[in-house]
A and B are shown apart, each in its own frame.
Chain A
Amino acid sequence: MVIRKTAEQIKDEILASLKEEPLSIEQLRKKVESNWSTTNNYLEELKKEGKVKEIISADKAKIYQRIFGDTYFDIPITDLERKKFRTLFSMVIKRYKESNQIPNKTQLAKAAVRVINSSESGLSELPTAWYLYGMIPLMIVDPSQDYQEEIILEHKQKINNIIEIFIKSNCDKKTKQIQKEQHIEYDDKLYQLADNFLELTEDNSWNRDRIFEVLNEFFIVCPINWEFKEVFNLTERFISTVRKLSYFDKLENHRTKILLTFDALWKFIATCKFYETISLKRRFSNKSVLDLYLGGAISFRKVCAEESLSDLYSIYLSKLDNRKLDLSSDAAKVKEIMQGWTGED
């Protein structure tokens, strides 16, 4: 006698199959041993329930991804990793409460990263990644959640000690300061320079030379050999547009646009950096799986950065006039060397 699976059983099987990586309907159909149309119908139901999302849609070649909702970009983590993360978050919140504080998102995330990266914690296998504000646990922290200690961590006492030290040394610090110190701690120059740039642009009157110094260094530090060539191209375009604009107008007059453009650029850079760090951890058998999770976000952020840069560039072009610009003797010497260069092969 053939025992027919219930709808719930098939849906559970679909969700279980999507736990590790996105799959096409065809792949899912084989895993749950059902036909294309039935699998497609259940996927539509799961989509309405907010449990899966379509990430590539081309007629019959649809690819679905499971929505976990608790990790960045819904990148899958194992059940054990999830339990360890929740246990760690619970321990951090508990320690904070013991010292009559409630951690905010940054404090919780940075304390967790400190523990994970400490050789004494035994949690170094838990995934972390660089993103918008520095290094974060791959599982999204939420201080309002009632995390429980779901498992007993082997080095519980040591972990508690690390958390206590973290709380003591950061109790008086503002969120931004904690972030900045983390960037210094892990010696990530690009993040440090982004911090410096934002700090300098907080002033009412901008110190042009100091800002250019930071941007110039940003140009040197910005990776050129990443697989995302656009990171360098867009960064360079941003810096050169800001610098050129300064010949024709006060930069402060365009504060909002400059900061919005930097923000859009930074989101693109940080998403690429996120991709890079996850890719280095080799969580996926091949990079094309990671592309499925992050490809859309990277493209979207690239378009946003390009659009914002294009607006800033239009402002610069509108200000561009025929005033005489002096070339320093050193720059003139470089120009002399470049005579005959046309950029053509």
Chain B
Amino acid sequence: MDKENFIDTNVIVHYANYQENKSIDILNKCYSYLVNKRGKFIVCYMVIKELYTVMSQLSIIHKEVLMKVKDNNHSMKDNKNLSEKDLAFAEKIYSTYKQTEVKKLNEILYSEREIFEISIERFLKTHVDEKVIPIEQIQTDLVNKLHDIISNHADCKILASALQLQKIREPFLFVTADGKDLAPNHYDFLKDHFKINYPKEGYLFPELLNLMFTK
């Protein structure tokens, strides 16, 4: 029987950004993995929260681009809500559309954003079989332990949710597309770190399926 899949935020975001014959490799992989479903799809509430944060973040990127197109002197860098990565994407959109009328560009960006959001919301509504670990049930001490190795707080909460679930479930796959903190060698390091430092707690790690590193 196919293993259950605990899906990470980035896989769903890549899936929602997929376009036939136009997408880069990782988007193709994530799309294909979620469309050719094998085994149950599980999503934790922290991933759902993160997805809404991603949607909101995209609207901030778009708003900044619009403000820059409207007024060339507007500095997108001044918006503390944009990370360096966000800024890079905002600048790409800006340089492509800087000659476009603000009203028209706003409609283009809205239309792109709402299709992106609808894809995510549809996935959550129709593809996800189970939603697990309410945010208030995420164990703070486990999050803190993960934080020693993984810097992103939201990622720690998602992984903590997966570890909590793995304690009471048959082995499942943790499906991600994170090329940094959850790269296979980092994940192995994390498992060893937990084995050495917290042997009594008996934490069980789900099997990693990192689509960044699959063929």
Contact = CB atoms under 8 A, between A and B. Distances in A.
Contacts of B112: 327, 331-332, 334-335, 338
Contacts of A344: 9-10, 85, 152, 154-155, 178
Interface in A84-123: none
Nearest to A343: B54
A136 to B, nearest CB: 29
A339 B26 CA distance: 9
Interface stretch (A36-44, A171-179, A200-208, A216-224): A216-224
Contacts of B160: none
B14 A342 contact: yes
Given A225-B79, A247-B118, A343-B54, A335 B63 contact: no
B71 to A, nearest CB: 11
Given A232-B63, A322-B126, 16 more contacts: A219-B106, A229-B81, A232-B60, A236-B56, A237-B56, A243-B110, A327-B19, A331-B109, A331-B111, A332-B112, A335-B115, A338-B93, A339-B17, A339-B23, A339-B24, A345-B152
24 contacts: A216-B107, A219-B59, A220-B66, A237-B56, A240-B55, A240-B117, A244-B118, A322-B126, A325-B115, A327-B19, A327-B111, A327-B115, A328-B108, A332-B22, A333-B96, A334-B93, A334-B97, A335-B19, A335-B115, A338-B116, A339-B17, A341-B89, A344-B10, A344-B155
B23 A334 contact: no
B17 A338 contact: yes
Contacts, number: 133
Contacts of A259: none
Interface of B: 9-10, 13-14, 17, 19, 22-24, 26-27, 50, 53-60, 63-64, 66-67, 70, 79, 81, 83-86, 89, 92-93, 96-97, 102-103, 106-118, 121-122, 125-126, 152, 154-155, 177-178
A143 B9 CA distance: 57
Contacts of A229: 81
Contacts of A220: 63, 66-67, 70, 102, 106
A212 B114 CA distance: 13
A329 to B, nearest CB: 10
B118 A236 contact: no
Interface of A: 212-213, 216-217, 219-220, 224-225, 229, 232-233, 236-237, 240, 243-244, 247, 317, 320, 322, 325, 327-328, 330-345
B2 to A, nearest CB: 23
Given A320-B121, A339-B27, A341-B89, A331 B17 contact: no
Contact of B85 (A217, A247, A317, A345): A345
B19 A332 contact: yes
A337 B61 CA distance: 13
A340 B24 contact: yes
Contacts of A217: 103, 106
Contacts of A332: 19, 22, 112
A331 B93 CA distance: 11
B114 A236 contact: no
Contacts of A233: 56
Nearest to B100: A330
A224 B79 contact: yes
A336 B22 contact: yes
A331 B104 CA distance: 11
A343 B111 contact: no
B59 A236 contact: yes
B205 to A, nearest CB: 21
